[in-house]
Amino acid sequence: MAVILPQDSLSHAVYFAPRGRKRLISLGYQLSQRYLSPLDKLIGFIGDAGAGKSLLIKGMFPGLELTSDDEGVNVRPLPLLKNLDRGFFSSYTYHVDIRFESAFTQMHVLADAINQAVAQEKRVVIEHFELIYPFLGINAEVLIGVGEEVIVTRPNIFGPQPKDVADIVFKSIIYRRMAHTAEDLTCKILESEYGFTHPQVHGDVKHGFVLEFAQKPDVDLSELEEKVRKYIDDGLDISYLDENHIQLGEGKPYHCTGARSHVKNASEIENFRLIKEYYHDPISKVYALVGLVGKQKIVDINDLNNLS
């Protein structure tokens, strides 16, 4: 009798795309434990540059050599193609960044190499899977999209197609970048003008951010909101410096655990606002400050994560 694994029943799962290297790698590890089977051969990742795909892959496949990533590591020649030329695949798992490799190799050549590796029972982990899918003729066994949220799905003959996932994550990533930038601006003001130490505890909410405090802050939220909006109205530039720092205008480097996930200028943040009260969690005993971006609408604080 066939054994039905938990993965076989997966329709889709959705997680907040967390800020920071450690949290993304940790999420990747959790996803591998929950949704990957040792028999999966074709794993597809979809998402814009800087969304965190490489970090999720590092968490899901510890020790896998990434042929290109956000840290500027580019392995040449591509191991998958090198092994194809030899007539056999010496490794069990290969990584391919299609957007990067397509600058050097024709798509049909990459597709042929991937198909041959899978046929020989090798695993191929593919970034920008939606670009190679029309040439492959087969869908991934697991598709992972990274935008404002991380979407995990196990396609079957009825879908979803890579384009379905791409349409969601490419539209939503802007909210993540706006929210993350607004969050850092809020933290900077809390530190420089109200004496709070860095880092605060960060939480997640759709189209926004959450900061958590052990004690209720003595900070007027309308005043804090106006100070953040001043940065936005002034069009403050935000620049990537390194994996742990950004540049806010011409100020000193500012510590940030997700330095690649920002808008380039604060004026790109749409409809920033703070919920004008602190919310106390009786279980964790913390006070939550909630900031939102995007469409302006009446918000039920108990229903925030259902924002469209």
pLDDT in tens, 211-232: 999 999 999 999 999 999 999 9
Low-confidence ranges of the chain (pLDDT < 70): 1-9, 69-74, 198-200, 296-308
**In terms of Cα–Cα distance, which of 225, 217, 221, 210 is closest to 288?**
210
Largest CA distance in the chain: 68
Dihedral sign for Cα atoms in the order 260, 202, 181, 167: positive
List the domain boundaries for the chain.
Answer: 10-160, 174-306
Which tens digit of pLDDT belongs to each residue from 161-192? 999 999 999 999 999 999 999 999 999 999 99
Measured between alpha carbons, how far is residue 117 from residues 57, 61, 90, 287, 307 in Å? 19, 18, 10, 52, 42
| Domain 10-160 annotated CATH 3.40.50.1220 | no
CATH entry 3.40.50.150 includes domain 174-306: no
The predicted pLDDT at position 307 comes to 45
| pTM metric for this prediction | 0.87
